[in-house]
Amino acid sequence: MPLAALMFAIATIAADGGACPAASPAPVVAAERAFAADASGLGIGGSFNKWATPDAAVIAQGRAQTVREVYPPEAARPADEPSLEWWPNWAGIARSGDLGFTTGGVAVNGARTGHYFTIWACQPDGRWRWVYDGGSGASAAEVPGPDREPMLMKTGVGVSASPEAAMAEVRAAEARLAEAARTDQRAAHLAVLAEDGRLYVAPRPPAIGRAAMAAALDGWPSTFDFGPTEGGGASRAGDLAWTYGPALWSRDGAERRGHYVRLWRKGTDGWALMFAQLMAALPVSAAPDAAPPPAGG
């Protein structure tokens, strides 16, 4: 089965089960913290595999892979594995209580290096498992530490007929965004970004609020060539959806490539972009033999 199809199935698997809790982000935040706490005892690979669905997606080495491809469960824990820490600063959940997210700061060997972004799906037995994890080099120097409770996203008030209908609507919104971004990415993003959303433009800190988003967008190239949605999923209520896909752009006369990752929330006036980041692929000549920690920058 193609990875995109797997991701859609994973994100909507809870639709047939009744074990998902009420629409509170508290269990999602708790799952993220438990996931992070396990990294010291189980190792990065052990923790990532324990808390993920088997086919959870990670974007590493310029392509979407499963967690087991990036961190084979049978692989021994490296003796020189760095200390990886992360903690939630912002979280949210769908109205149907089956799909949520957290994002926050990351530290490697005690030094803050960026931000992670994780999508969580409630399983039929009521347990939470992540279905996507990725990182951004957006600065975490000034974000609150692990001892602070995360800010919470307002739950969407819009609904769709089904998760499939929601994804069709989001794909259409992304196609319109892609068309506009080919001539003016700044205006294209500002037209769909929610006022209470977040924008990660590395190496800047997360942009929160309209003015900060407008300024951060100046750090990206003036145009992008966004490809169609490759993967993602939607909540049972059809009010929250996440996506990823390919991106091409030019910087300093050289063509670059990578992936976009987005989170969309549906309101009474349609879909708004709650979160966006760009994950650049390293040039082939500079690509390391092993993928960097997905939660890193």
Domain chopping of the chain, boundaries: 3-154, 163-280
What's residue 164's pLDDT? 97
Give just the sign of the alpha carbon dihedral 237, 240, 244, 247. Answer: positive
Indicate the SS3 state at residue 5: helix
Confidence label for 9 from pLDDT (cuts 50, 70 and 90): very low
Give just the sign of the alpha carbon dihedral 84, 88, 91, 93. Answer: positive
Indicate the SS3 state at residue 275: strand
Give the C-alpha separation, 297 to 288, whole Å: 15
Which among 207, 209, 206 has a CA at the least distance from the CA of 196?
Answer: 209
What's residue 21's pLDDT? 66
The angle subtended at Cα 257 by Cα 108 and Cα 261, nearest 5°, is 60
Question: Could you tell me the pTM of the whole model?
Answer: 0.89
Instruction: Find the length of the chain.
Output: 297
Query: 13 vs 229, which has greater pLDDT?
Result: 229
231: Cβ contacts below 8 Å, ≥ 6 apart: 3, 4, 6, 7, 8, 57, 64, 243, 244, 245
Tens digit of pLDDT for each residue in 102-117?
A: 999 999 999 999 999 9
What's residue 289's pLDDT? 42
| Mean pLDDT value across residues 66-94 | 96
Give the C-alpha separation, 17 to 27, whole Å: 17
What's residue 160's pLDDT? 95
Tens digit of pLDDT for each residue in 266-288?
A: 999 999 999 999 999 865 444 34
What's residue 252's pLDDT? 85
Confidence label for 228 from pLDDT (cuts 50, 70 and 90): very high
Q: Is the pLDDT of residue 290 over 90?
A: no
| Mean pLDDT value across residues 77-106 | 97
Q: Is the pLDDT of residue 156 over 70?
A: yes
What's residue 20's pLDDT? 76
163-280, which class in CATH?
alpha beta
| Mean pLDDT value across residues 67-75 | 95
Per CATH, the number for 3-154 is: 3.10.450.50
Cis peptide before 25 (omega within 30 of 0): no
